[in-house]
Amino acid sequence: MHPALSINGLRKVYANGVEAIKGIDLEVAQRDFFALLGPNGAGKSTTIGIINSLIRKTAGTIDIFGISIDEDFARAKLNIGVMPQEFNFNAFERTMDIVVTQAGYYGIPHSVATERAEHDLKLMGLWEKRHTRAIALSGGMKRRLMIARSIVHRPKLLILDEPTAGVDIDLRRLLWELLRTLNSEGTTIILTTHYLEEAEHLCRNVAIIDHGTIIQNTSIRELLKLLQREVFVMDLISPLVKTEDWSYGDAQIHIVDSNTLKVNTHRDQSLNDIFNHLNENGIQVSSMRPQSNRLEELFLSLTRSDPP
Amino acid sequence: MTPYQKWIAFHTIYIKEVRRFMRIWVQTIVPPAITIVLYFIIFGEIIGTRIGPMEGYNYTQFVAPGLVMLAVINSAYANVVSSFFGAKFQRSLEELLISPTPNYIILHGYVLGGVTRSILVGGVAAVIALFFTDLSIQYWGIMIVVLLLTATLFALLGFINAVYARTFDDVTVIPTFVITPLIYLGGIFYSINLLPELWQKISLLNPILYMVNTFRYGTLGISDINVLWALTMIGVFICITYIYALHLLRTSKKLRQ
């Protein structure tokens, strides 16, 4: 079975001499839910742009389900759906027309396109707005319209560039459910996001791209194993008597305020031991949470170095 | 894509274009109609009655074919340049570019959209002309052919302008500084036989002269130039602009980096 996406030796040098992509290799299996992560300017958008033909590659090969984009880009494109980060529909067109028109670009007959548009707009909760011009939709509705448009031709590979940027928590959860459903139905999804919690929540595999090269390409589970230390914030039941930070084993315990501790611990350190230690010192913990997302910690540690 | 899928893609682009200019008909259909009425009132009725006959026709009849062509040229150009640049500006064009739709289908869809609007506006202009003067069409075939060819040529030119345009100012520069002067110097309001010999020769370099005169030949049966030669020239211009527009779609860094 061909991978959904296979990239080999991809390079992109812009006309101004900037080498945005420095020979990356990447493979995304069919039915995978894959995260492509990286800081701003790392090369994510350039990579996506080359896959969808808006950017011309300098070198390398790309195969979509075994179809080389150099040999038959049109056939390869039939399998791809792309949802860009920025709203890029005609704001004066009606919601229904935007989706049906998109289907037409892929050669889908009007009657089929209309049926699918109805299904997708209902799925996205936009059916009541089908006659509304896009300009009158809320930000969340526009985001959902972008997704409806990107799936109307039933792509086997869906590329989502920051799909939940700027949407509220309710809608984000709704979109997560929709994406999970699409993935479970067989659609391969590649997701770029700055919400690393989202990637950890949704994706099975991940590649981190930085300065035009892939610095990690593994499963989320394997990636998280790289995280050596974690920081937890603990809320206390009663105020602390201690006034200075201290250590216990490999853990550093920092007093944030009289009711809050921050515990920096090695991943091999037993949390039970730490709780026992706190208990022995008369410190009762009412709640505990990670200071930040684990993947976020790891992402920062991997990409923090300054450009060479 | 199969031929049927390509047909659907073409039909989709074309219908989208027609829907766009019909949605804003107050901006796309009404202004040229008002302009034509004003031309007929001022040049036909007020000034024209003092000018006397030209090439055997009264002045209103003489300028009528040129004014129809004026509407056709402006509408064909304006429709494609504004629509394609608008799509580029709003980035909705990206959805078309990332689709499997071949470049020539994209070009055909936009050009036919422009031709449709220009024929519609030309039809409105012709109806207005009939309120001001009598027009008995001499050669229907030539009139229709030159109308379609002219609309196609200017739709293609509008497309090329839109690909190059970076700002809305770029969209208006060519019509203002190139097309409008060529139209006014293209024999709409006068016969080039009235000009000194040197200016007659210079006028022959203006492609719009050929279109206006061929259209006038179709409607009134008079022309300053050879009709067959004019049709050939328009055909050559269309071939050049068509190939160039396709080349831009394939290679322009303003569409794909």
Say yes or no: A195 and A53 in one domain: yes
Q: Which candidate from A56, A109, A149 shows the least CB-CB separation from B8?
A: A109
Tell me what pLDDT residue A184 has: 92
Say yes or no: A135 and A181 in one domain: yes
Distance CA A269, CA A249 (A): 8
B205 interface with A at CB cutoff 8 Å: no
Query: For the segment A172-219, what is each residue's pLDDT rounded down to a tens digit?
Result: 888 888 889 889 999 999 998 877 778 888 888 888 888 888 888 888
End-of-domain residue from the set A225, A252, A279: A225
Residue A133: inside a domain, yes or no?
yes
B3 interface with A at CB cutoff 8 Å: no
Say yes or no: A212 and A82 in one domain: yes
Say yes or no: A27 and A160 in one domain: yes
pLDDT of residue A307 exceeding 60, the answer is no
Average pLDDT over residues B70-80: 91
Say yes or no: A59 and A168 in one domain: yes
Say yes or no: A178 and A287 in one domain: no
* CATH number, domain with residue A114: 3.40.50.300
Average pLDDT over residues B180-205: 83
pLDDT of residue B80 exceeding 70, the answer is yes
pLDDT band at A306 (very low <50, low <70, confident <90, very high): very low
Residue A12: inside a domain, yes or no?
yes
Residue A49: inside a domain, yes or no?
yes
* B152/B200: higher pLDDT: B152
Residues of B in contact with A105 (CB under 8 A): 9, 12-13, 95-96, 99-101
Average pLDDT over residues B86-95: 90
Residue A308: inside a domain, yes or no?
no
* CATH number, domain with residue A275: 3.30.70.1560
Query: For the segment A239-286, what is each residue's pLDDT rounded down to a tens digit?
Result: 887 778 888 888 888 888 888 888 888 877 788 888 888 888 888 888
Say yes or no: A166 and A298 in one domain: no
pLDDT of residue A122 exceeding 80, the answer is yes
Residues of B in contact with A109 (CB under 8 A): 8
Average pLDDT over residues A86-105: 91
- CB–CB of A74 and B100 under 8 A? yes
Could you tell me the two tokens for B71?
């509407």
A185 interface with B at CB cutoff 8 Å: no
Residue of B nearest to A15 (CA): B257
Residue A112: inside a domain, yes or no?
yes
- CB–CB of B257 and A108 under 8 A? no
Average pLDDT over residues B114-142: 87
B2 interface with A at CB cutoff 8 Å: yes
Residue A177: inside a domain, yes or no?
yes
Average pLDDT over residues A118-146: 89
Distance CA A161, CA A165 (A): 9
Number of domains in chain A: 2
Tell me what pLDDT residue A304 has: 64
End-of-domain residue from the set A168, A201, A225: A225
Size of interface A-B (CB pairs under 8 A): 83
Residue A173: inside a domain, yes or no?
yes
Residue A243: inside a domain, yes or no?
yes
- CB–CB of B99 and A77 under 8 A? yes
Tell me what pLDDT residue A121 has: 92
A92 interface with B at CB cutoff 8 Å: yes
Tell me what pLDDT residue A96 has: 94
Full residue range of the structural domain in which residue A173 is found: 5-225
Say yes or no: A177 and A35 in one domain: yes
Say yes or no: A178 and A284 in one domain: no
Say yes or no: A41 and A104 in one domain: yes
Say yes or no: A33 and A169 in one domain: yes
Residues of B in contact with A91 (CB under 8 A): 90
Q: What share of chain B has pLDDT > 70, as a percent?
A: 100
Q: What share of chain A has pLDDT > 90, as a percent?
A: 25
B90 interface with A at CB cutoff 8 Å: yes
Say yes or no: A139 and A219 in one domain: yes
Residues of B in contact with A101 (CB under 8 A): 12, 16
End-of-domain residue from the set A197, A225, A253: A225
* A199/A129: higher pLDDT: A129
pLDDT of residue A308 exceeding 50, the answer is no
3-class SS letters over chain A: CCCCEEEEEEEEECCCCCEEEEEEEEEECCCCEEEEECCCCCCHHHHHHHHCCCCCCCEEEEEECCEEHHHHHHHHHCCEEEECCCCCCCCCCEHHHHHHHHHHHCCCCHHHHHHHHHHHHHHCCCHHHCCCEHHHCCHHHHHHHHHHHHHCCCCCEEEEECCCCCCCHHHHHHHHHHHHHHHHCCCEEEEECCCHHHHHHHCCEEEEEECCEEEEEEEHHHHHHCCCEEEEEEEECCCCCCCCCEEECCEEEEEEECCEEEEEEECCCCHHHHHHHHHHCCCCEEEEEECCCHHHHHHHHHHCCCCC
Query: For the segment A55-64, what is each residue's pLDDT rounded down to a tens digit?
Result: 999 999 999 9
B100 interface with A at CB cutoff 8 Å: yes
Query: For the segment B4-52, what is each residue's pLDDT rounded down to a tens digit?
Result: 999 999 999 999 999 998 988 888 888 888 888 888 888 777 887 777 7
* A230/A130: higher pLDDT: A130
DSSP structure class, residue B193: G
Mutation test of the interface with chain A: which of B2, B4, B7, B12, choosing the one with the most A Cβ atoms within 10 A? Answer: B12
Residues of B in contact with A110 (CB under 8 A): 8
